[in-house]
């Protein structure tokens, strides 16, 4: 039992502070912890890599401009999953030559018109299919160093839908298509400088390491000009007290040993790249909700909060478990899964008209009540682990709910608004009223 008013062991933001932020900016609300974001970036910057390293933050985890600026200032580079994500990062002030674009997208003439000047400015393009390779060689004449995403053949993730490496995931060029890809590369006289694989999110670290061998073998056999080994993201962050985070330092050291052995064997020094999203951002963000109602069906007791799937879609999407904290309306911590024993089971719901709008679901979409303490209407229910894949993924406008404001708690304790709450006008502004057709 921790007697201070903190919510967990990794953040200095207290229950009382979150209550004040909730009062000032109105719930539901995303709140981020600058100190923890910076600490995570620093830990990654400290990883040793004698032949060079690039740490790319996976933009999809959280694409808010204010967050990107913190990560940029901490010296990280970026990984984008769509052309619009690249443009959004540019809008936030990120230099184009710090971004690697790895996408399932293919582009029409208009798309290439947007891409071409970006490539000139140093955007790096990671090609993920034979069609992308064809399109690239038809559209680009300049000898930019190329990057290839290869399908690992075997993947691992926290759930099947977060495994990007098995046969049912179509990310990257499958190794059965490698001969065709190599043929196209030779014909178009392209130079492959980077080989990339991403096995999934939050999966088995042993498999993550095994793919270092797979990649090195491919580089040795087929890519004599490759200088960069990109190992993807997916490093597991522990959101719940019973989870174990990936030991990034140890994993990187083990990967480095393989890269050193490769150098001894081939004389080739490879730059190492990783692209974590969750590991940097997950625990740096909270979803603040207020308990609006408390109900029971006899079988289950429900806390109905003013934010749910519109704040955090992950439980409904793949049964993800997030820590749920309870804070009294006066700012006192009532319950933290890290320190307090609960005494009553609750289903924690949002207020969308959807029975799956619950923060307490398992991977089958079934209700799995959480042992908490008994709160009152007006207390706060705070969803932890929501800095990554929270606001960037939520079903924010379902039931015409407004996307929440997003606030940063700075290292010195001050709060800054990073994004305003939507208003009714934002919901309707692109709609065309039927009358206008008449
Ligand atoms: C290519 C790629 N890189 C990096 C990431 C980031 O993964 P994580 O947030 O699990 O670190 C993802 C996530 O889907 C990805 O697809």
Predicted confidence (pLDDT) at residue 223 exceeds the cutoff of 90? yes
Look at residues 188, 190, 176 and name the one whose alpha carbon lies nearest to residue 224: 190
* Ligand 1 pocket member 390 (CB < 6 A): no
Q: Is the pLDDT of residue 435 over 80?
A: no
Answer yes or no: CATH 3.20.20.120 is held by domain 34-280. no
Higher pLDDT residue, 272 or 156? Answer: 272
Confidence of residue 4 (pLDDT cuts 50, 70, 90): confident
Residues in the chain, overall count: 438
Contacts for 435 with CB less than 8 Å, ≥ 6 apart: none
438 confidence band (pLDDT: 50, 70, 90): low
Among protein residues, the one whose CA lies closest to atom 12 of ligand 1:
233
For ligand 1, the distance from its centroid to the CA atom of residue 58, given in whole angstroms, is 6
Q: From ligand 1's centre to the CA of 198, what distance in Å? A: 7
Q: CA-CA distances (angstroms) from residue 87 to 65, 99, 118, 123, 178? A: 11, 10, 9, 11, 31
The H or E element spanning position 285 is: strand 285-296
Q: How does DSSP classify residue 6?
A: B
pLDDT, mean of residues 240-267: 97
Q: pLDDT (tens digit, 9 = 90+) per residue, 68-114?
A: 999 999 999 999 999 999 999 999 999 999 999 999 999 999 999 99
The pLDDT value recorded for residue 437 is 63
Query: Pairing relation of β-strands 285-296 and 380-383?
Result: antiparallel
pLDDT in tens, 187-198: 999 999 999 999
Torsion sign across C-alpha atoms 237, 243, 249, 254: negative
Q: Is the CB of 232 under 6 A from ligand 1?
A: yes
Q: Which residue has the higher pLDDT, 68 or 199?
A: 68
Q: What is the dihedral of CA 112, 162, 310, 17, to 10 degrees?
A: -110
What is the token pair recorded at 106?
């293919």
Ordered DSSP codes for 335-360: E-TTT----EEEEEE-SSS-TT-BSS
- Among residues 103, 69, 107, 109, the alpha carbon closest in space to that of 86 is found at 103
Q: How is residue 150 annotated by DSSP? A: B
**CA neighbours within 13 Å on the CB side: how many for 278?**
25
Please give the distance, rounded to the nearest whole angstrom, from the Cα atom of residue 182 to the centre of ligand 1.
26
Question: Of all protein residues, whose CA lies closest to atom 16 belonging to ligand 1?
Answer: 198
Radius of gyration of the chain (CA): 23
Average pLDDT, the chain: 95
Cβ–ligand 1 distance for 385 under 6 Å, the answer no
**Which atom from ligand 1 is nearest to the alpha carbon of 278?**
9
Quick one: pLDDT at residue 308? 97
160 has a pLDDT exceeding 90 = no
Say yes or no: CB of residue 58 within 6 Å of ligand 1.
yes
Residue 171 · residue 151 · CB < 8 Å:
yes
pLDDT in tens, 34-59: 999 999 999 999 999 999 999 999 99
**pLDDT value of residue 324:** 98
Atom number of ligand 1 nearest to Cα 388:
9
How buried is 212 (Cβ within 10 angstroms: 0-12 exposed, 13-18 middle, 19+ buried)? buried
Report DSSP state, residue 365.
Answer: S
Q: What pLDDT does residue 202 have?
A: 84
pLDDT score of 385: 98
Given this model, what pLDDT does residue 3 score? 62
Counting ligand 1 atoms within 8 A of each CB, the residue from 81, 103, 197, 235 with the most, and so the one to mutate, is: 81
Residue 276 in contact with ligand 1 by CB distance below 6 A:
yes
User: Could you tell me which of 91, 29, 55, 49 has the C-alpha nearest to residue 290?
Assistant: 29
Q: Read off the pLDDT of residues 295-315 as tens digits, 9 standing for 90 and up.
A: 999 999 999 999 999 999 999
CA distances from 238 to 241, 281, 282, 381, 436 (A): 7, 11, 9, 20, 52
Q: Is 90 exceeded by the pLDDT of residue 166? A: no
pLDDT in tens, 379-409: 999 999 999 999 999 999 999 999 999 999 9
Query: Is 364 exposed, middle or buried, given 0-12, 13-18 or 19+ CB atoms closer than 10 A?
Result: exposed
pLDDT confidence band for 153 (50 / 70 / 90): confident
The CA 275 to ligand 1 mean position distance, Å, reads: 7
Of 233, 239, 285, 320, the residue with max ligand 1 atoms within 8 A of its CB, to mutate for a pocket test, comes to 233
Q: What is the mean pLDDT of residues 360-364?
A: 93
Sign for the CA dihedral angle at 279, 285, 286, 287 comes to negative
Using the predicted structure, report yes or no on whether residue 354 has a pLDDT greater than 70: yes
Pocket mutation for ligand 1, best pick of 150, 198, 199, 273 (most atoms within 8 Å of C-beta) = 198
| pLDDT computed for residue 1 by the predictor | 57
Mean pLDDT of the 136-140 span: 96
User: What whole-number distance in Å separates Cα of residue 254 and Cα of residue 60?
Assistant: 27
3-state helix, strand, coil in the chain (%, to 5): 35, 20, 45
Q: Measuring CA to CA, which residue among 418, 406, 388 is closest to residue 307?
A: 406
Secondary element (H or E) of residue 149:
strand 146-149
pLDDT tens-place string over residues 277-298: 999 999 999 999 999 999 999 9
Torsion of CA 100, 106, 109, 112, to 10 degrees: 10
Contact 307, 27 (CB under 8 A): yes
Quote the ligand 1 centre to 390 CA distance (angstroms). Answer: 14
155 confidence band (pLDDT: 50, 70, 90): confident
**Cα 425 from chain centroid?**
29
Distance 307 CA to ligand 1 centre (A): 26
C-alpha closest to that of 385 among 277, 244, 287, 276? 287
Q: How far is the CA of 2 from the centre of ligand 1 (A)?
A: 34
Fold equal for 15-31+282-428 and 34-280: no
- CATH 3.50.50.60 assigned to domain 15-31+282-428? The reply is no
In the chain, domain spans: 15-31+282-428, 34-280
Instruction: List the alpha helices (DSSP H) in 4-64.
Output: 15-25, 34-45
For the residues 171-181, what does the mean pLDDT come to? 95
Ligand 1 within 6 A of 279 CB?
A: yes
- The separation between CA 74 and the C-alpha centre of its own chain, rounded to angstroms, equals 18
- Asked whether 102 lines ligand 1 (CB < 6 A), one says yes
């Amino acid at each position: 039992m921790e007697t201070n008013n903190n919510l967990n062991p990794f953040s200095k933001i207290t229950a009382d502070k979150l209550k004040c932020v909730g009062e000032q900016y109105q719930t539901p609300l995303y709140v981020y912890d600058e100190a923890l974001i910076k600490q995570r970036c620093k830990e990654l910057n400290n990883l040793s890599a004698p032949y060079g390293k690039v740490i790319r933050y996976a933009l999809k985890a959280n694409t808010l401009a204010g967050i990107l600026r913190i990560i940029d200032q901490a010296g990280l580079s970026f990984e984008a999953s769509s052309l619009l994500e690249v443009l959004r990062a540019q809008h936030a002030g990120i230099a184009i030559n710090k971004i690697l674009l790895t996408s399932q997208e293919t582009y029409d003439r208009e798309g290439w018109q947007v891409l071409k000047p970006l490539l000139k400015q140093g955007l790096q393009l990671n090609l993920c299919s034979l069609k992308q390779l064809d399109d690239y060689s038809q559209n680009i004449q300049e000898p930019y160093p190329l990057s290839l995403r290869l399908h690992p053949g075997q993947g691992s993730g926290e759930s099947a839908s977060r495994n990007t490496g098995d046969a049912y995931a179509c990310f990257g060029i499958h190794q059965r298509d490698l001969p065709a890809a190599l043929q196209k590369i030779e014909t178009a006289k392209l130079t492959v400088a980077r080989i990339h694989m991403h096995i999934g999110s939050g999966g088995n670290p042993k498999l993550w390491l095994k793919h270092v061998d797979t990649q090195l073998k491919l580089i040795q056999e087929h890519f004599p000009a490759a200088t960069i080994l990109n190992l993807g993201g997916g490093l597991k962050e522990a959101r719940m007290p019973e989870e174990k985070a990936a030991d990034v330092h140890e994993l990187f050291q083990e990967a480095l040993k393989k890269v050193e052995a490769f150098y001894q064997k081939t004389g080739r020094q490879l730059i190492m790249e990783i692209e974590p999203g969750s590991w940097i951002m997950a625990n740096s963000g909270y979803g603040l909700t207020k308990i609006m109602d408390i109900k029971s069906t006899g079988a289950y007791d429900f806390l109905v909060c003013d934010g749910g799937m519109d704040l955090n879609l992950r439980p409904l999407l793949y049964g993800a478990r997030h820590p749920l904290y309870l804070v009294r309306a006066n700012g006192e911590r009532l319950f933290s899964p890290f320190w307090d024993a609960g005494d009553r089971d609750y289903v924690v719901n949002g207020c969308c008209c959807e029975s799956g709008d619950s923060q307490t679901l398992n991977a089958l979409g079934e209700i799995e009540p959480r042992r908490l303490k008994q709160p009152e209407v007006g207390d706060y229910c705070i969803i932890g682990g929501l800095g990554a894949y929270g606001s960037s993924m939520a079903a924010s406008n379902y039931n015409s709910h407004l996307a929440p404001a997003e606030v940063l708690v700075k290292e010195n304790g001050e709060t800054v608004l990073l994004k305003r709450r939507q208003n009714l006008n934002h919901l309707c502004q692109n709609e065309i009223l039927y009358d206008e057709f008449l």
